[in-house]
Amino acid sequence: MKILSLNIGQKRPYPWRNGTESAILKSPVEGQVEITPTGLVGDEQADFGAHGGEDKAVLCIPQSNYALFEIHQGFGFLGENLTLSDVDETQIQLGDQMKIGEVVLEVTQPRSPCWKLNEITQDPQFLKRYAESGRVGFYCRVLNTGKLEINDSVSLRHPEPAADHPAISIQSLFLAKHRVQTRNAQTGDMDLLALAVQHPALSDAWHRELTKLLDQ
């Protein structure tokens, strides 16, 4: 696995819903980029309730998602900071650590896609297809800072499974939550969410959301 593209974006206004500020569209950058506990230097977020912060410092999306969703745009179009080769959300687990030189990232949650994806793709059904696939990308926190560059190799380490936090793939976690939220829960979905809540790597945002679903 390696970094195919490093992408940053700045806030700017869009005409959506009578005016929305967003930094969803990101552009590739060349050379080394410093990464801090809150993400890539130069990258911005407009909605800190949904993006950013230490638990969601870096959004990663596999290169294969561009082909899967027939996106014929440059990397960064889907809002990701890191575009990664040779991996997808079935292979990435909650709590995985990605070592890139001296940088270490920890997987904290699936992406929670929003309506803005329909706007940038100009496809009113895109968000539905995106969510139902579970191939939504994932967020990481920064355990060790440093500098990143295109073509850097990424070493993936899965955490040791334990009774209270077994292996949970990003795709399976997202789909379980999505089905419960849309009242289409399958056998095992609630059990998986209950296990995810106990996982030490889970972001605070998803911990709150899953706890609320479980309480209901």
215 lies in some domain:
no
Let me know if residue 18 belongs to a domain.
yes
E-assigned strand segments in the chain: 3-8, 12-14, 20-22, 27-28, 33-36, 39-40, 58-62, 82-84, 97-100, 103-110, 138-144, 146-148, 155-157
Output the pTM of the full model: 0.95
pLDDT score recorded for residue 163: 67
Q: What is the pLDDT along the chain (216 residues), one digit of tens a residue?
A: 999 999 999 988 888 887 888 888 999 999 999 999 999 999 988 776 666 789 999 999 999 999 999 999 999 999 999 999 999 999 999 999 999 999 999 999 999 999 999 999 999 999 999 999 999 999 999 999 999 999 999 999 998 877 667 899 999 999 999 999 999 999 999 999 999 999 999 999 999 999 999 998
| Domain interval for residue 155 | 3-159
Number of domains in the chain: 1
Residue 97 in any domain: the answer is: yes
Give kind and range of the element (H or E) at residue 66.
helix 64-68
Query: What whole-number distance in Å separates Cα of residue 28 and Cα of residue 75?
Result: 7
